[in-house]
Amino acid sequence: MAREIIIGVSGGIAAYKTAALVSDLVQGGLGVTVVMTRAAGKFIGPATFRALTGRRVLTRAFDSHDYPLGPHIELARQAELLCIAPATANLMAQAAHGMADDLLSTLLLSFTGPVVMAPAMNSEMWEKPAVQRNLSQLREDGVHLVGPAEGWLSCRQKGVGRMAEPTEIKETILGLLKSE
């Protein structure tokens, strides 16, 4: 039986790189369920992840038909690891402060296994004291952060804020699963 993980996709242009990550993980034999925020759908469609995983992509917090206890509870109990890529400043702020207003942020609160986040944002956002405070809190809470890297950003400048490459995120995921 395949090991089960969840890939959360929040709303950033780097979501296109998450498709390569998901494809790689599925080809490696992992069972992958994708959960997308509403904003993520502005950058990449659920059909992409459905094709790559062979599974329905979840976007709504209330899906009583397939998940009578709620997907945030049932998915949290079924998966061994939760990875969010890209992790936007907004998503990280929600996680750092225990706020939940959609399926992905609610799932984060109910998930008890290892959590990996791959931050991605504009370098000016990355450098804000509030973002750095949230990162400190996430590290203290045991979240495994991968990146961000320095490079060309969608705002047409170079700086820190580029999401880590899918291979680096995959290595972190596999390393954590190995130690479980």
How many other C-beta atoms are found inside a 10 Å radius of the C-beta of residue 118?
A: 27
Query: What is the distance between the alpha carbons of residues 10 and 82, in angstroms, rounded to a whole number?
Result: 13
- Cα separation values, 178 from 65, 77, 111, 173, Å: 34, 19, 19, 9
Query: What is the distance between the alpha carbons of residues 152 and 160, in angstroms, rounded to a whole number?
Result: 9
Query: What residues are annotated to the active site?
Result: 155
Instruction: Judge whether 26 and 173 are in contact, CB under 8 Å.
Output: no
Query: What is the distance between the alpha carbons of residues 74 and 4, in angstroms, rounded to a whole number?
Result: 12
- What residues pair up with 35 in beta bridges, in sequence order? 8, 58
Is the Cα dihedral 112, 136, 117, 57 positive or negative?
positive
Query: What is the distance between the alpha carbons of residues 68 and 62, in angstroms, rounded to a whole number?
Result: 9
